[in-house]
Amino acid sequence: MMRGCSSSRTKLTQNQDRTVCMTNCPTLIVTVGLPARGKTYISKKLTRYLNWIDVPTREFNVGQYRREFVKIYKSFEFFRPDNEEGLSIRRQCASAALNDVRQYLTEEGGQVAVFDATNTTRERRETIIQFAEQNGFKVFFVESVCEDPDVIQENIVQVKLESPDYTNCNTEEAVKDFMMRIQCYENSYETLDEVLDRDLSYIKIMDVGQRFLVNRVLDHIQSRIVYYLMNIHITPRSIYLCRHGESELNVKGRIGGDSGLTPRGKEFAKKLTQFIQKQDISDLKVWTSQMKRTIQTAEALGVPYEQWKVLNEIDAGVCEEMMYEEIQESYSLEFALRDQDKYRYRYPKGESYEDLVQRLEPVIMELERQENVLVICHQAVMRCLLAYFLDKTAVELPYLKCPLHTVLKLTPVAYGCKVESICLNVEAVNTHRERPENVDVSRMSEEALLTVPAHQ
């Protein structure tokens, strides 16, 4: 996306024609598919990705609305097509969700809303399309089609058993009920049709990404969404994130630069090698930046590694290789501005965290494609990557704790990511600077330097 856009959102002109919409109008992504086809998995992941690349996105799960309405889930009978009461409640829930969508996109600055429900009938989808037209939203359907019983079974085990609907059932009961639930939808399921739905914009994902059908991609954001959906997979794997070993400039309390490892840093590289070997990871890919300290760390592993320039640490511009104390002395205004908005603040002749996220996007895309990967990078870079996996906001991101000599093992599980923090027991300086209380430009030096970690 274009950062620092000076163009504002333009208004839609009401028009009968379905295709008229200014490029900046909000987008409604609508999932389609039987239960246990990965719709919520996709919704959550897509929402996380879009928010990370700075496109305000929110998901609206109709099942959630139903759970709030019908406090207690009894059985699949609720979903029977002849259950008038059930149908009425479900329609109301969908309406309530659409109402919230409208509010999010028109009043709360949302750019994309993900409407997560089965939406398996043409009738239901037509209702949504009309809603979108009335409000000037573009619609993009994401249908997940899968008939592989193993995949469906795995889905049910991973996410349905934990659902509030089944807290009081044992596994066998829950699976049985859920299968009946799926059946309730099957008869009335109308998949997106190449001919009947030829004017709609959609992607049909078949068999967990073996095959895709893409129709009428209208704009940049839809194109990015399609590219993302085509790159994600669900093969179990782990991503290991760590920083380079402690560097010469680290111990001096200086930021940036391109220095080598200290003896303790080299010790970490050794310990990292032992750790990786013990983990016994199949086909591990190792990535580093193009800075000396990450490469030195990787060299100790004795395996091939790939260097990415975009994994280089944030460019601190005029502040490169300075201590925080020196920055306060020479650039106290800049220092205060940074504390005020650490995510968007750009060093003079340097970068911001926001810039970092943009340059890291190809890394994230490739991480999605890959399986087991170890990324040896830097503090600010690691914070950005971590924020993507753990769905942290721009406010939290620059303050995520990424200490030296600690490996984070991320394993996707259910709808999120399990994090294991492994400290490799080699002493290192602390490089984490908390946000000080006083961020005012008129603050005293001492107040600015209160949270600077100790160094030589």
Contacting range for another protein; rule: CB under 8 A; set: 247-255, 303-311, 402-410, 412-420: 303-311
User: Quick one: 223 or 235, whose CB is closer to another protein?
Assistant: 223
| Vertex 113 angle, CA 111 and 118, to 5° | 160
Amino acid at position 433, single letter: R
DSSP 281-307: -TT-EEEE-SSHHHHHHHHTTTS--EE
- To the nearest 10 degrees (0 to 180), the angle between helices 39-52 and 379-390 is 150
Give the β-pairing of 406-413 and 416-423.
antiparallel
Alpha-carbon gap, residue 331 to 318, rounded angstroms: 9
Contact assessment for residue 201 and residue 216, using Cβ atoms and an 8 Å cutoff: yes
* Coil, helix or strand at residue 112: strand
Alpha-carbon gap, residue 267 to 246, rounded angstroms: 9
DSSP 233-260: ------EEEEEPSPBHHHHTTB-S----
Q: Binding residue for another protein (CB under 8 A) from 142, 291, 323, 385? A: 291
193 near another protein, rule: CB under 8 A: no
235 near another protein, rule: CB under 8 A: no
Q: Residues touching another protein: how many (CB under 8 A)?
A: 56
DSSP code of residue 61 = E
Contacting range for another protein; rule: CB under 8 A; set: 2-10, 57-65, 83-91, 401-409: 2-10
Contact assessment for residue 286 and residue 374, using Cβ atoms and an 8 Å cutoff: yes
Annotation marks residue 233 as catalytic: no
Contacting range for another protein; rule: CB under 8 A; set: 40-48, 146-154, 302-310, 327-335: 302-310
Shortest Å, Cβ 358 to another protein: 7
149 near another protein, rule: CB under 8 A: no
Q: Binding residue for another protein (CB under 8 A) from 91, 153, 173, 213? A: 213
H/E element, 425: none
Q: Binding residue for another protein (CB under 8 A) from 60, 131, 287, 353? A: 287
User: Quick one: 370 or 451, whose CB is closer to another protein?
Assistant: 370
Set 133, 267, 313, 351: catalytic member: 313
Q: Binding residue for another protein (CB under 8 A) from 281, 295, 422, 450? A: 295
- Annotated ligand binding at 244? The verdict is yes
Contact assessment for residue 177 and residue 80, using Cβ atoms and an 8 Å cutoff: no
437 near another protein, rule: CB under 8 A: no
446: Cβ–Cβ under 8 A, 6 or more apart, which residues? none
User: Quick one: 424 or 449, whose CB is closer to another protein?
Assistant: 424
Shortest Å, Cβ 149 to another protein: 18
Contact assessment for residue 455 and residue 253, using Cβ atoms and an 8 Å cutoff: yes
Shortest Å, Cβ 223 to another protein: 6
Set 59, 143, 244, 361: catalytic member: 244
User: Quick one: 127 or 307, whose CB is closer to another protein?
Assistant: 307
Contacting range for another protein; rule: CB under 8 A; set: 220-228, 380-388, 430-438, 441-449: 220-228
248 near another protein, rule: CB under 8 A: no
H/E element, 105: helix 84-107
Alpha-carbon gap, residue 385 to 392, rounded angstroms: 10
Residues forming the active site:
244, 313
The binding site consists of 243-250, 293
Residues engaged in binding another protein (CB under 8 A): 2-7, 194, 198, 210-217, 219-220, 223, 226-227, 230-231, 258, 260, 263, 266-267, 269-270, 273, 277, 287, 290-292, 295-296, 299-303, 306-310, 320, 349, 355, 358-359, 362, 366, 369
Binding residues for substrate are 243-250, 293
